[in-house]
Amino acid sequence: MDILLLGPPGAGKGTQGALLSQALGSPKFSTGDLLRDAVKQGTPLGVEARAVMEAGHLVSDEIILGVIRDELAKPVSAHGVIFDGVVRTIPQAEGVAEVLQAMGRQIDTVLFFDVSDEHLLRRLAARRDVESRADDDPAAVVTRLKAYREQTAPVIAWYAAHGGLTRIDAVGTVAEVSDRAMRALARA
Ligand code: AMP
């Protein structure tokens, strides 16, 4: 089963994705984690993406689609993947659909983790104190939320129109939100 997690930065996609991955035994694939690793290791991908990420902008569709193709070609991804924050623009949604279609697959379910701006800002500020991520700095957060509204929010309507999108109220404890996500999957 291929499951896509959507939602603004700070919505809890990473945490919930890890729990779903454990519960379902499917690998979780996060372009954010993969890019952060590339930056840490100083690979050509990391060198190219670093400044864009630190400023809070989106990395180009071309780079992201290359990363997605590489990931889906791995044997570990052969039986379905939990896509965590992997699709952030309409061209990426179209590109993922195309790559999966060539493998006889499709995104089976989209879970949209919905959180108010007020909660997001509070969560991102708390995460900055714990993880010291450059892109959780206040100026980068403003840019990331703007990128989300302008480029990623339309992806929600795209998937809703293509079927299989469930909105999850992502305000609550980790266990409460996880329970909602598992119930939504059971209904899907
Ligand atoms: P995340 O931790 O998932 O919020 O990702 C951190 C940063 O990586 C984002 O702010 C973007 O700069 C970049 N990034 C991750 N995934 C994508 C994507 N699918 N499209 C464009 N940029 C991305």
pLDDT in tens, 16-25: 999 999 999 9
Instruction: Give the residue carrying structure tokens 């570990």.
Output: 76
Q: Exposed, middle or buried, 170 (CB in 10 Å: 0-12/13-18/19+)?
A: buried
pLDDT per position as a tens digit, 103-132: 999 999 999 999 988 888 888 888 888 887
Give a yes or no: residue 186 inside a domain: no
Residue 184 forms part of a structural domain: no
Cα 57 to ligand 1 centroid, rounded to whole Å: 8
Tell me, what CATH number does 34's domain have? 3.40.50.300
Residue 76 domain-assigned (yes or no): yes
Q: Would you say residue 83 lies in a domain? A: yes
Query: Is 82 contained in some domain?
Result: yes
Average model confidence (pLDDT) for the chain?
94
What residues are in contact with ligand 1 under a 6 Å CB criterion?
9, 30-32, 35, 52-53, 56-59, 64, 85-86, 88, 92, 135, 144
Tell whether 65 is covered by a domain: yes
Closest residue by CA, ligand 1 atom 1: 32
- Residues with catalytic annotation? 13, 88, 127, 133, 144
Extract the tokens encoding 172. Answer: 């609550």
Range of the domain at 138: 3-179
**The pTM is what?**
0.93
Instruction: Please report whether residue 85 resides in a domain.
Output: yes
Quote the number of domains for the chain: 1
Are 165 and 156 in contact by the 8 Å Cβ rule? The answer is: yes
Which phi-psi region, left, alpha or beta, contains residue 97 (left: φ > 0; alpha: ψ -120 to 50)? alpha
163 pLDDT exceeds 80? no
